[in-house]
Amino acid sequence: MGKIISGITSLLLLGGIGIALWYFLGKPENLSEAKDGLGDAYNKTKDQIDKFDFGDVLEDLSDLDWGQFFNDDPFAGNTTVTLWDEQYIERDSGGLQLTLVNSLSADWQEEFEVAVADWSESDALTLDVVVEPVDDAWDNEKKCKRQDDVMVVCNGNFGDTGWVGINENEVRGGRIISSVAKM
């Protein structure tokens, strides 16, 4: 009985869509008229899109309070801004002095170099890179071991975590004292 009702419902739905399409195409009496109606509908839609001015879509974004932008996002997680400990910040000579410990396997080196080059463009950040030779046989705990005063960048198979990369910070006294970026 359920299959019969399902079949009848499907037929009614398809019939309704067919009637709506027939009406939308100008009630054609043959296939040639249906093609013409479809072409006319396409041209009318294209004309409407061409009339729309996409130039000012992002206008007026300067008035947004970007600091509060993600506060109501249930998927944003913790968005608290935490600074590195003052001992790493030299306000008169370049801002944050940060040592990156490259504990990545060979297949992540290109991405790491691109990211470091991008970060190095900032006058507010001075990076020193220390390469820590990695044995692929090491477990994630050894490759990604937290170290005081530096940011460790590592990669591994962390299982089904729901993330493709994450940064873990250790905070003491409201300041970051170490960081581990896991890829």
DSSP for 19-80, please give it.
HHHHHHTT--SSHHHHHHHHHHHHHHHHHHHHHS--TTTTTTGGGS-GGGTTTT-TTS----
Residues of the chain with pLDDT below 70 are 53-95, 135-138
Instruction: Name residue 89's beta-bridge partners.
Output: 96
- Looking at residue 3, what is its pLDDT? 83
> What values do phi and psi take at 178, rounded to 5?
-160, 160
Q: According to the model, what pLDDT value does residue 28 have?
A: 78
The per-residue pLDDT for 78 is: 63
pLDDT at 170: 85
pLDDT at 74: 58
User: What does the pLDDT read at residue 127?
Assistant: 80
| CB count in 10 Å sphere of residue 153 | 25
> pLDDT at position 135, please?
66
